[in-house]
């Protein structure tokens, strides 16, 4: 199967502080890979590195981001502008602030389509209606004349997704695409993203903090903690047999339908990038920590079971 994205040994810094440590991620055509972890673990920064939209205060010091055989880190900004939208599309976290309130949805869709393809205004308008139909917005032709404030949060997110569909992007980065939405709308949006993957063979990089949500959609899962990937496996294998203590702690903290079972939390808080934690970054919060091993040695991702990788010195 064709490799669409291959991130190799990516290291990113904010000044003297390292935020990403040797990140390796490979996505095949038509795959949905979920990158999961608590806020601040580096998952969004990984996604923004692919788009080359990291903050000015950040710098990629080493590594490769190979998209369809080309290293995007060698691309100039003008080349990246061609890639963004045309080949790689972003579904951002907050649909409420992603659309310009001063312009109709139709104007914004048409502008996006014409920016990435050489078509007339009328052709772009026809395409805009088609993609609104695809994301199940009823009365699409009329809705093109609506302003963003006239749509609900879930409808706004559908419009953002339609912009990705309009350019037929081969890779969609969905960065917490359901964060600002209620539970029923979350499922609708994830069902829609999954339908796009299935129908068009689109590759999806899904950034999330919600294991319960991704369990129904992801083909493969990468767990991040403090700038490191600590576990990687197929979704089926991961949920059947999580290895890393952090992965187990995340799964144990999920709510259950049993009112007798007490909700388990992960003690402590994720470290900031300014904290100098030696050895395993998770050891201050890990119930299995062996100080002689975990504080003195840095774990690396190793294959513990077939195609199931974990970075733990104990398990």
Q: Which residue has the higher pLDDT, 96 or 137?
A: 137
The pLDDT tens digits for 26-45 are 999 999 999 999 989 999 99
Question: What is the residue-averaged pLDDT of the chain?
Answer: 91
Query: CA–CA distance from 193 to each of 12, 112, 135, 198 (Å)?
Result: 29, 20, 9, 9
**Residue 306 scores a pLDDT above 80:** yes
DSSP output for 128-156: HHHHHHHTT-SSHHHHTT--GGGS-HHHH
Express each pLDDT in 86-119 by its tens digit: 899 998 877 677 889 999 999 999 998 888 778 8
Q: Report the pLDDT value the prediction gives residue 259, as an integer from 0 to 100.
A: 57
- Strands of 202-315 (E only): list them: 203-208, 220-225, 228-234, 302-305, 308-310
For range 212-216, the mean pLDDT: 90
Q: State the average pLDDT over residues 159-188.
A: 87
CA angle 183–188–192, rounded 5-degree value: 145
In b/e form, how buried is each residue of 201-240, taking b as 16+ CB within 10 angstroms? ebbbbbbbbbbebbbebbbbbbbbbbbbbbbbbebebbbe
Confidence of residue 257 (pLDDT cuts 50, 70, 90): low
């Amino acid at each position: 199967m064709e490799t669409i994205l291959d991130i190799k040994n990516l290291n990113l810094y904010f000044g003297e502080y390292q935020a990403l440590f040797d990140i390796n991620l490979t996505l095949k055509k038509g795959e949905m890979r979920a990158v999961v972890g608590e806020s601040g673990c580096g998952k969004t920064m990984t996604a923004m590195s692919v788009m080359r939209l990291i903050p000015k205060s950040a710098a990629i010091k080493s590594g490769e981001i190979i998209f369809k055989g080309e290293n995007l880190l060698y691309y100039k900004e003008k080349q990246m502008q061609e890639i963004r939208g045309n080949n790689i599309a972003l579904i951002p976290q907050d649909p409420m602030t992603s659309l310009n309130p001063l312009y109709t949805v139709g104007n914004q869709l048409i502008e996006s389509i014409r920016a990435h393809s050489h078509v007339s205004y009328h052709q772009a308008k026809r395409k805009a209606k088609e993609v609104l139909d695809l994301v199940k917005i009823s009365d699409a032709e009329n809705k093109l004349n609506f302003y963003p404030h006239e749509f609900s949060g879930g409808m706004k997110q559908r419009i953002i997704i339609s912009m990705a569909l309009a350019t037929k992007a081969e890779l969609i980065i969905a960065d917490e695409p359901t964060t600002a939405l209620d539970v029923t709308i979350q499922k609708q949006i994830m069902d829609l993203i999954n339908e796009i993957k299935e129908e068009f063979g689109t590759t999806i990089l899904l950034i999330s903090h919600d294991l319960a949500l991704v369990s129904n959609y992801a083909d493969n899962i990468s767990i991040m903690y403090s700038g490191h990937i600590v576990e990687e496996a197929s979704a089926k294998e991961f949920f059947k047999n999580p290895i890393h203590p952090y992965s187990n702690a995340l799964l144990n903290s999920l709510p259950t339908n049993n009112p007798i079972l007490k909700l388990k939390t992960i003690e402590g808080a994720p470290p900031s990038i300014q904290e100098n934690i030696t050895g395993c970054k998770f050891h201050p919060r890990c119930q299995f920590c062996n100080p002689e091993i975990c504080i003195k040695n840095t774990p690396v991702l190793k294959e513990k079971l077939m195609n199931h990788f974990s970075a733990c010195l104990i398990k």
